[in-house]
Chains A and B, each alone.
Chain A
Amino acid sequence: QKEVEQDPGPLSVPEGAIVSLNCTYSNSAFQYFMWYRQYSRKGPELLMYTYSSGNKEDGRFTAQVDKSSKYISLFIRDSQPSDSATYLCAMRSTGGGNKLTFGTGTQLKVEL
């Protein structure tokens, strides 16, 4: 079993929809949770960063962490065609160097 599980999709939604992307994990030592966005033929770029449990909002994006369920989510409101990309969750524990464990990524397509 992988430490981090993420549905690969693809997920196709109409423009303006609310998108929910999720990851589950098994390592209770994970404390830092990230979402990266990766456009085709590009490197991943950090979208959201959350420490421990709770919510964080940035514009149309909201990241949620539920450590009791070992479950993290990324919500995208009013989705746009420019949001079409692969979304990768990543997480790490305190200490042990800044070694990230990534999910496999969910491919999202927002259609006009």
Chain B
Amino acid sequence: DADVTQTPRNRITKTGKRIMLECSQTKGHDRMYWYRQDPGLGLRLIYYSFDVKDINKGEISDGYSVSRQAQAKFSLSLESAIPNQTALYFCATSDLTGTDTQYFGPGTRLTVL
């Protein structure tokens, strides 16, 4: 089984709809991250959480919110989706030990019409 899972893998929605993307991990890591990937812009950090009670804004948090329900679960919400939020979304995890390497999930492809 994959260590970092994301659901759904693909989603098409309409402008104005509320969308939730979910991330679960079995790696036992405290740190979790949400990124979006756009052609020509690379990966950009949306939100990150260093433990259940810690939530931090990243580079591009406007229009997004997150919830850290447990150590293993970190959800990203789009309260009112807009077309320029069409992108590939990745969840990642890391821990404090060693190199603090980030491990990525398989991604969610979101299309907002």
- Give A105 to B45 CA distance when docked, in angstroms: 15
List 23 contacting pairs A-B, 8 Å CB cutoff, sorted by A: A4-B42, A8-B40, A41-B106, A41-B107, A42-B106, A42-B107, A43-B4, A43-B105, A43-B106, A43-B107, A45-B103, A46-B102, A49-B101, A90-B43, A97-B48, A97-B50, A98-B31, A98-B48, A99-B45, A99-B48, A102-B42, A102-B43, A102-B44
Q: Tell me if B56 and A44 are in contact (CB < 8 A).
A: no
In A62-112, which residues have CB < 8 Å from any B CB? 88, 90, 97-100, 102-105
What is the distance, in angstroms, from A42's C-beta to the closest C-beta of chain B? Answer: 6
Contacts of A45 in B (CB 8 A): 103-104
* Total number of residue pairs linking A and B with CB closer than 8 Å: 52
Is B34 an interface residue when CB atoms closer than 8 A count as contact? no
What is the distance, in angstroms, from A4's C-beta to the closest C-beta of chain B? Answer: 8
Is B69 an interface residue when CB atoms closer than 8 A count as contact? no
What is the distance, in angstroms, from A77's C-beta to the closest C-beta of chain B? Answer: 24
Partner of A43, one of B41, B45, B90: B90
Contacts of A8 in B (CB 8 A): 40
The 6 A-B residue pairs with the shortest CB-CB distance, nearest first, are A43-B104, A104-B42, A102-B43, A102-B42, A98-B100, A44-B104
What is the distance, in angstroms, from A72's C-beta to the closest C-beta of chain B? Answer: 15
Q: Tell me if A44 and B41 are in contact (CB < 8 A).
A: no
